[in-house]
Structure 1
Amino acid sequence: MRKKSVFNIVLLAVFVLAMVGCGGVSSSKAKLVEGKVNVVTSFYPLYEFTRAIGGEYVNAINLVPAGVEPHDWSPKSRDIKNMTQAQIFVYQGAGFEGWVKDFIGSLPAESNLKVVEASKGADLIKTSENKDEFDPHAWLSPLNAIKMANNIKIALVGADPAHKEVFEKNYASYEAKLLDLDARYKKELAQTKKKEIAVSHYAFAYLCRDYGLTQMSIMGLSPDAEPTAQDLKKMNAYMKEHDLKYIFFEELVSDKLAKTLAKDAKVDTMVLNPLEGLTDAQMKAGEDYISIMDKNLKNLVIALQ
């Protein structure tokens, strides 16, 4: 309760400052833009989906900076200002952003902010039989990504009905790309000899479900969870049992543990990107959800031979 109260006080203070006019200060380098639908997204995939659908009529602001892992990230005062002044706020849901509930509960009654839970209606995987807890990494299923993009499209149409036709057209084009991506995954992964993967972070349940794979992870749903000696022993045994030659790691968290385990097991490491964010280099190179997912597919095919 104390933590929530402090959050509420900070949020209220920032909101008041925003209303009396603090100029154009905004989260990171991004700024709200007059004449466009301003959409603040909680992390990278939602940012990309929003830009792809909104096109020139939408100003999308991604809260989590490039190169930052989003699981334990929380908004700063400048981020809260952007969220309260935007027309739409899009978050993943399914337990991914621990700070969102307090933020939504702290919005003033007069706020016109449209809040969109992107994963609503997606085919979610339960992590517990006794509680309504879900694996939040739904975007790693291209078919779920389609549902998430559709939720964003609906919100954009509601905020700017004059450009409904553009949003519908852009969504249809992006949906086709995601369907093509899904088809590539189905075709190529159906032909691999192995179906088991060893990963550093338990982020790929949706990808495994959709394409008939099984994952064994060093860490849990959060990439910074500390594995026990027993966890490492189980991973080593799993790799030997299935004759795995690679351990997958991701770029936004340290690869030290994966490389240490790989050295002990005499296997190699390779990247499997959970697409929770891009690095600065990837952003500058023009990488996106589709291109990174295609790189993931290429690496999976290599590892599963």
Structure 2
Amino acid sequence: MQKRPLLAIALTAAAALALTGCSAGSSGSSTDDGKVRVVASTNVYGDIAHTIAGDAVEVTSIMSDPNQDPHSFEASAQSQLAISKADILIENGGGYDDFMETLRKGAKNSSQKVLNVVDISGKKPVDGELNEHVWYDFPTVAKFAGELTDALSAADPSQKSVFEKNAAAFTEKLDALEKKESDLKSRYAGEGAAITEPVPLYMLQAIGLEDKTPEDFSKAIEDGTDVSPAVLQQTLELFSNHTVKLLAYNEQTSGPETEKVLAAAKQAGVPVVPVTETLPSGKDYIGWMNANVDAVATALGE
């Protein structure tokens, strides 16, 4: 469903020239201290990397401020420098974080291992549309955890057993999340849900909920374009007609149309499930996703 790169890049010419001097011609190990360095596009993947790697690896997340609107994010010269020193790069892919590709090309570090999570997922566009928010899809995250464990083990074989043990514990928790989704699906499959953007759609679908939102509405919100009055009215009627059991509302990107939808849901007594694209402060990935699934369950009447 993604139509535009979600994150923009802003590097001044002077900073870019300075960083070219730092990174040009680098190959092989990115640093001389033996420390494995992982750089992730967002703190979602950074947290997963830290969970699996533990203290044996240095992990940096390019976008880590939970109050940052992902649509207006600007990568800095410091981000370029971090990428130039990375041994493993984690990007979402699917057009979500194209800034990583640009920064990676500027880093000129040919030995880096790049993990593209959309590629790892195996998901393909359907009718030209791809929902790139794959971190809400637990089977994809499990695949990514396996690929990351292999990459970390190759980078530091002495810690392989630690990485594998941590990954096994993480995957077990993902299995528990999938079980929660399956239990909810057995009771609520076919119920309607509304979204402002397709951020949590993989989770809602795993629970068996049907997205009733007019596609032109969520597409316009994600693309940052205007919603036609007719489409907005169709969306508002989902709540006044009680067609949906809940509204999944992206708190990190809002505007006049989404605020009207939020108000309509509240007025109709339809539960609102707030969602975000990046990890909230004080949460780890598993805790965050447990809270999201539990919020959906509560909204459904559990």
TM bucket by the smaller chain?
0.7 to 0.9
Aligned to 2:232: 232
| 1:94 Cα offset (Å) | 1.5
Is 1:155 aligned to residue 151 of structure 2? yes
Go from structure 1 to structure 2 and tell me whether the alpha carbon gap of 1:68 and 1:58 turns closer, same or farther (over 3 Å shift): same
Go from structure 1 to structure 2 and tell me whether the alpha carbon gap of 1:8 and 1:117 turns closer, same or farther (over 3 Å shift): farther
- Return the letter of the residue paired with 1:141: D
Q: Is the 8 A contact 1:192 1:301 kept in 2?
A: no
Structure 2 residues without counterparts, runs of 5 or longer: 1-9, 25-30
| 1:53-202 → structure 2 map (5 Å cutoff) | 53-66=52-65, 67-108=67-108, 111-124=110-123, 126=125, 128-129=126-127, 131=128, 134-192=130-188, 195-202=191-198
Go from structure 1 to structure 2 and tell me whether the alpha carbon gap of 1:226 and 1:47 turns closer, same or farther (over 3 Å shift): farther
Can you list the C-alpha shifts for 1:57-107, whole angstroms capped at 9, x where unaligned?
Answer: 011111113121334534211100110112111101122113233333444
Runs of at least 4 residues off by over 6 Å: 6-11
| 1:253 Cα offset (Å) | 2.6
Tell me, in whole angstroms, the C-alpha distance in 2 between the residues paired with 1:271 and 1:211: 14
| 1:150-299 → structure 2 map (5 Å cutoff) | 150-192=146-188, 195-217=191-213, 218-220=217-219, 222=222, 224-244=224-244, 246-254=246-254, 257-264=257-264, 266-268=267-269, 270-274=272-276, 276-279=277-280, 282-283=281-282, 287-299=283-295
Q: Is the 8 A contact 2:189 2:207 kept in 1?
A: no
Can you list the C-alpha shifts for 1:46-67, whole angstroms capped at 9, x where unaligned?
Answer: 1111011100101111111312
Tell me, in whole angstroms, the C-alpha distance in 2 between the residues paired with 1:124 and 1:83: 26
Aligned to 1:27: none
3-state SS of 2:68 partner: coil
Tell me, in whole angstroms, the C-alpha distance in 1 between the residues paired with 2:255 and 2:294: 20
Go from structure 1 to structure 2 and tell me whether the alpha carbon gap of 1:248 and 1:134 turns closer, same or farther (over 3 Å shift): closer
Structure number with the higher helix fraction is 2
Tell me, in whole angstroms, the C-alpha distance in 2 between the residues paired with 1:159 and 1:9: 33
Tell me, in whole angstroms, the C-alpha distance in 1 between the residues paired with 2:298 and 2:239: 16
Can you list the C-alpha shifts for 1:23-65, whole angstroms capped at 9, x where unaligned?
Answer: xxxxxxxxx9945311110012211110111001011111113
Q: 2:296 aligns with which of 292, 295, 300?
A: 300
Aligned sequence identity (%):
21
Go from structure 1 to structure 2 and tell me whether the alpha carbon gap of 1:151 and 1:242 turns closer, same or farther (over 3 Å shift): farther
The number of residues matched between the two structures is 279
TM-score by length of 1: 0.79
Go from structure 1 to structure 2 and tell me whether the alpha carbon gap of 1:223 and 1:201 turns closer, same or farther (over 3 Å shift): farther
Tell me, in whole angstroms, the C-alpha distance in 2 between the residues paired with 1:193 and 1:179: 20
Tell me, in whole angstroms, the C-alpha distance in 1 between the residues paired with 2:166 and 2:71: 29
Is 1:13 aligned to residue 17 of structure 2? yes
| 1:260 Cα offset (Å) | 2.6
Go from structure 1 to structure 2 and tell me whether the alpha carbon gap of 1:191 and 1:223 turns closer, same or farther (over 3 Å shift): farther
| 1:142 Cα offset (Å) | 1.1
Q: CA RMSD in A?
A: 3.0
